[in-house]
Amino acid sequence: MSETQVPAVRFSGVSRHFGEIKAVDGVSLDIQDGEFFTMLGPSGSGKTTCLRLIAGFDRPTSGTILLHGQDVGRLPPYERDVNTVFQDYALFPHMTVGENVAYGLMIERVPKVERQKRVVEMLELVRLSGMYGRKPSQLSGGQRQRVALARALIKHPRVLLLDEPLGALDLKLRQQMQIELKVIQQRVGITFIYVTHDQEEALAMSDRLAVFNLGKIEQVGSPAEIYEHPATPFVAGFVGVSNLISGETARTITGTTDTFSIRPEKIHLVDPGAEVPYGMYAADGSVRDVVYLGLYTRYLVELEQGGDLVVVQQNLNTTSMDVLAARGRKVRLLWQHDHNRLLKDI
Amino acid sequence: MSTISSSSGLQVGNGPGRPRRASPTTRVSTFLYSRPGLILLLLLGPPMAWMLIVYLGSLSALLVNSFFSLDGYTGLVVRHFTLATYRDLFTRSNFEIVQRTAGMAAAVTITAAILAFPLSLYIAQFASRRAKSILYLAVLLPLWSSYLVRVYAWKLILAKEGIISWFFGVLHLKGLLDWLLNLPVIGGPSLSVSNLGIFIVFVYVWLPYMILPIQAALERVPKSLLEASGDLGAKPIQTFRHVILPLAFPGVVAGSIFSFSLTLGDFIVPTALGNSSYFIGQAVLSHQGTSGNIPLAAAFTMIPIVIMIFYLIAAKRLGAFEAL
Amino acid sequence: MNEFRDRSPFLVKYGAVAALLFLHLPVLIIILYAFTTDEATFSFPPPGLTARWFGVAWARRDFWEALTLSLRVAGVATLTALILGTLAAAAVYRSDFFGKESISVLLVLPLALPGIVTGIALRSALGLMEIPFSFWTIVIGHATFCVVVVYNNVLARFRRLGHSQIEASMDLGANAFQTFRHILLPSLATALLAGGMLAFALSFDEVIVTTFTAGQQSTLPIWIFSQLTRPRDRPVTNVVAVFVIVITFIPILLAHRLTQQDNS
């Protein structure tokens, strides 16, 4: 426990070029054993390519990839102790659910009786008991997703890769599956490496996450770290709402022209001319737009000095009527110095 | 943490690779995995080798042979570059063969296009969805029956005592039939031994190849176009001439490529229904046969190829391939 | 005003019917003639109907020899085409390489160029290299134009398969050969069957290329062709003609059904 553990996955200066395009550009990363690690980023940022490099479907142009300390650069997927849940599930249509889940064991020549026992256990784990004999075409999207999960988990890989597995599900189902996946991960205790472009999902599920952009990692950290202390404008904009102020407007508020970011929920809306307490920044403007979202209300405030700030407030005392009346009103925005983030440009 | 070990005694590994005895197939598979070039060679090699050696090799042998010549005395092929064989193509009788074949090809193509048009138009624009697939199948069906047998069927039909004769007799039009058969060039002792007969059979066998492309081209004409034409005051015949015909043109050209090139090279139909006046296909067959004059046969074969190359270029210029 | 759309003009409708009759009557007529009692001519109407010519054809030795040769050639050519076509389809599917598009063109050339070109080309090559005619010279010609039929079917099936199933199989521990056996083969089965049957029908029916590469041997189409130019045994020829229609029609129909099933 006190000794440094061998990381489950270590990327050292890994690049993957497709001709001119640098899909992955000099990525170095450690993923610890047993953690739920997410690779977050927009399409084309390199996160899926990195996942495929770990799985073995692709080989890096340069750099090394270590799985539990050993270089797997030349190993094909079937030689790696890693299994994948694919975005399109990739279930074998000519096999039943049971045969799909048992596939990996069948290849390993596990005897039939034992195979069946483990398949039944696994189906129970993903809450699909009784679907043993069905064909994938007879299942819903959510059910297929769980078959894919069971199929990958049954071999007890030391690392499980999940490539945007919840993308095709509707919101409620997705939220439910997020919780289930987290529970399963904690129960089986293996390393999950999760790829998604949905920052809410990443924040909800991960122990740690890496934010990808244009083939590079811009920041690695826990959800709270990334959200509260974004390291670059991109991270600030991608994770959470982008409230970036720079230039002259920034100078009137903070005194310097450096870009800063402030999270919308950290801003207080007060009447214009209200006193500015010690340790807080202030900015004046008028409410340009209001969106009532049930749980909270989102205000778009146009600042007098130029630029916008998005402010989010829980609807503790406000009703939808009050909210709509706010449009056009002049307001003052206040937030604490600690919550203000100065950003370095990468 | 759930149990991991399986009863086969293998523990899920302590390293990233699974420590299992790699079977020979696994070893080969892994060897190949990191060598995609080798995989490509193994997959593509055999078929490409076959095509290059057998097919392209033969085509070059054909070309090479056309520049050889046949020694009249020994009857052996002289393997020495010469243009004499090509020159032989321009003798009167040989040239006639080419003319006859090209003329037949043109006549067949035009007739097939005219005959195909109503059916193609019907399927594309007027048939219900269900009728469309049935009719499409109905056009394909003859192609699924043996080509040779269908030619043979016409030998029956056109025979002196066959169904066509009987039909003309019933209509008291025997005289008309006799007059047709007495015409020069296209006539003959009976329909089944005449250029007219050859013409009919050629149109018959290539008709589906003409119907399908025209139907495909007409399929792409939106119905609204026809309506608009009608709305603007055009009578159906005018809509046909100014809207339908131009839009069907690429299909007609595509179909004509088939019927033209197939007629140029065919020897089955002329042999079955013809007399002693040769078509290109028969010339090729006879020269390479007993006389062993492969160089002349090869030279003759070049003619359809060259004609078709020019035809394709012209078709491309006319924009026939844009729709495809 | 919109008569064009609502109701097909007289000319179109009757022209369409005429074309359809023109296409189908000949085949129906020859089936009729297989039953005629007339031994010597093709007279219409047939004087009587009988089924005895089927028995006569059955007993004919040269018919059986030709049939056997055709079946053997078609069998071997189909097998060769299956292997070569599948290999080519696999290569085109999984890799990007220089000249990839031209593979399809190259493979379709033997069918796209008139049969006589392929025929005389092979004949030239055989002459140049002084190879005598044999069973294998026929097979080589047939296999060459049958490859593309298998290739197209298998490639289309590969494309519908998608890469992820193959990756999933390897991810779960199967090497390339196991993946082929458990995942690829079941998926490709119908495509191989359809392609194989089309190739079989194509080979069985082929006469032009065969004439150039067979020498003295007779496949069934060559036998029929010789009957065309030397009309004796007309009734037997009629029966054989009907037989050939059935043998080429059925595989194509089945292949058509299979591909329709696959597509739905």
**Residue A243 pLDDT greater than 80, yes or no:** yes
- Tell whether the model's pLDDT for residue A132 goes beyond 50: yes
Confidence category of residue B319, pLDDT binned at 50, 70, 90:
low
More confident: C70 or A317? C70
pLDDT, mean of residues A38-44: 93
Residue C41 maps to a domain: no
Best of A58, A107, A109, A193 to mutate (most C CBs within 10 Å, chain C) = A107
In a domain, residue C180? The reply is yes
CB-CB contact of C219 with C210 (8 Å): yes
Q: What is the pTM of this model?
A: 0.80
- Judge whether residue C77 has pLDDT over 90: yes
* CA R_g for chain C: 23
Q: What confidence score (pLDDT) does residue B11 get?
A: 33
B43 shares a domain with B132: no
Asked if B78 and B117 sit in the same domain, the reply is no
Same domain, B196 and B172: yes
| Contacting C residues, span 106-165, partner chain B, CB-CB under 8 Å | 106-107, 109-110, 113-118, 120-125, 127-128, 140, 143-144, 147
Between residues C119 and B21, which one has the greater pLDDT? C119
- Mean pLDDT across chain B: 82
What is the C-alpha separation between C229 and C211, in angstroms, rounded? 14
Q: Does residue C198 sit in the same domain as residue C160?
A: yes
Banded model confidence at residue A346, pLDDT cuts 50, 70, 90: very low
Q: Report yes or no: C173 at the A interface, CB cutoff 8 Å.
A: yes
Closest partner CB to B156 (pick from C9, C29, C103): C29
Q: What is the CATH number of the domain that holds C243?
A: 1.10.3720.10
Instruction: Please give the pLDDT value at position B310.
Output: 86
pLDDT tens, residue by residue, C7-22:
667 778 888 888 999 9
Residue range A107-121: average pLDDT?
93
The pLDDT assigned to B13 comes to 39
List the chains bordering chain C where 3 or more Cβ pairs fall under 8 Å: A, B
In tens, the pLDDT along A99-113 reads 999 999 999 999 999
C2: pLDDT strictly greater than 80: no
Q: Is residue C252 part of a domain?
A: yes
Question: Do both A175 and A317 map to the same domain?
Answer: no
* pLDDT at residue B204 is higher than 90: yes
Kindly report which listed range (B77-91, B150-164, B309-323) carries the lowest average pLDDT score: B309-323
Residue C21 sits at the chain B interface (C-beta within 8 Å): no
Instruction: Mark whether C215 and C125 lie in a shared domain.
Output: yes
Q: Are residues B173 and B214 in the same domain?
A: yes
User: Under an 8 A CB cutoff, do C125 and B61 touch?
Assistant: yes
Do A180 and A292 lie in one domain? The reply is no
Cα–Cα distance, B130 to B80 (Å, whole number): 62
Statement: residue C82 has pLDDT above 80: yes
Q: Clarify whether residues B127 and B185 are in a common domain.
A: yes
Same domain (yes/no): C76, C111: yes
Question: What pLDDT shows up at residue B4?
Answer: 40
Residue B19 within a domain: no
Tens-place pLDDT, residues B106-145: 999 999 999 999 899 888 888 888 888 888 888 888 888 8
Same domain, B169 and B128: yes
H-state helical runs in B236-293: 236-239, 245-265, 268-273, 280-288
Q: Is the pLDDT of residue B7 over 60?
A: no
Inspect the interface and report whether the beta carbons of C164 and A88 lie closer than 8 Å.
yes
Shortest CB distance from B30 goes to which of A79, A109, A158?
Answer: A79
Closest residue, chain C, to A58 (C-alpha): C167
Q: Are residues C195 and C162 in the same domain?
A: yes
Residues C22 and C116 placed together within one structural domain of the fold: no
Q: Which domain holds residue C127?
A: 56-263
Lowest mean pLDDT among A35-39, A113-117, A264-268, C158-162: C158-162
What mean pLDDT is predicted for residues A122-148? 91
Query: Band of the pLDDT at C1, cuts 50, 70, 90?
Result: very low
Taking phi over 0 as left and psi of -120 to 50 as alpha, with beta for the rest, C236 belongs to alpha
- Are B16 and A111 in contact (CB < 8 Å)? no
Nearest to B312 by CA among B243, B257, B233, B269: B257
C216 pLDDT exceeds 90?
A: no
Domain with B129 in it? 91-317
Say which of A86, A103, A104 has its CB closest to residue C164. Answer: A86
Range B224-233 average pLDDT: 82
Checking if the pLDDT of B10 tops 60, the result is no
In a domain, B8, yes or no: no
Is residue B10 in a domain? no
B10 lies within 8 A of chain A by CB = yes
Q: Does A213 lie in the same domain as A252?
A: no
Q: Are strands A330-336 and A280-292 parallel, antiparallel or unpaired?
A: antiparallel
Residues B199 and B313 in one domain: yes
Mean pLDDT value of segment C46-57: 79
Greatest mean pLDDT among B88-92, B214-218, B317-321, C207-211: C207-211
CATH number of A308's domain? 2.40.50.140
Check whether residue B38 and residue B147 sit in a common domain.
no
C18 and C85 in a single domain? The answer is no
Query: Average of pLDDT values for A62-70?
Result: 93
The count of domains in chain C is 2
From residue A42, alpha-carbon distances to A30, A37, A54, A129, A207 in Å are 21, 17, 19, 36, 20
Q: Which two tokens stand for residue B29?
A: 């598979």
B21 in contact with A, Cβ within 8 Å: no
| Contact state of B230 with C4 under an 8 Å Cβ cutoff | yes
Give the residue from chain A lying closest to B22, CA to CA.
A79
Chain A residues within an 8 Å CB radius of C186: 94
The count of CB pairs under 8 A between chains B and C is 270
How many domains, chain A? 2
Check whether residue A310 and residue A165 sit in a common domain.
no
> Is the per-residue pLDDT at B12 higher than 50?
no
Q: Which residues of B touch A83 (CB under 8 A)?
A: none
**Greater model confidence, A10 or B184:** A10
Do C125 and C7 share a structural domain? no
| Parent domain of A301 | 244-342
Q: Which of residues 249-268 of A touch C (CB under 8 A)?
A: none
What average pLDDT score do residues B229-251 get?
Answer: 82
Closest CA to A94 of C103, C182, B281: C182
Alpha helices per DSSP H over chain B? 24-33, 36-50, 57-66, 84-88, 92-121, 129-144, 147-158, 163-170, 174-182, 195-219, 223-231, 236-239, 245-265, 268-273, 280-288, 294-317
pLDDT score for A17: 92
Contacts of C29 in chain B (CB under 8 A): 153, 156-157, 163
CATH number of domain containing B224: 1.10.3720.10
Check whether C263 has a pLDDT greater than 80. no
Contact C172 A94 (CB under 8 A): no
Number of structural domains, chain B?
2
Q: Is A4 inside a domain boundary? A: no
